[in-house]
Structure 1
Amino acid sequence: MTERHEIPLDLTTFEALDSALKFHRAAALVSPTAPEPMSAFQDDLMATANQLGFHPTMPGTFRVQVVAGGRNLLVWEQAERQANVREVTHAVA
Structure 2
Amino acid sequence: MSSTATRRMGGWGVLVLVALAQFIVILDTTIVNVALPSIQSSFGLSPENLQWVVTAYTLVSAVSCCSADASPTCSDASGGSSSP
User: TM-score normalised to the size of structure 2?
Assistant: 0.43
Bigger-Rg structure (1/2): 2
Q: Which structure has the highest helix share of the two?
A: 2
User: TM-score normalised to the size of structure 1?
Assistant: 0.39
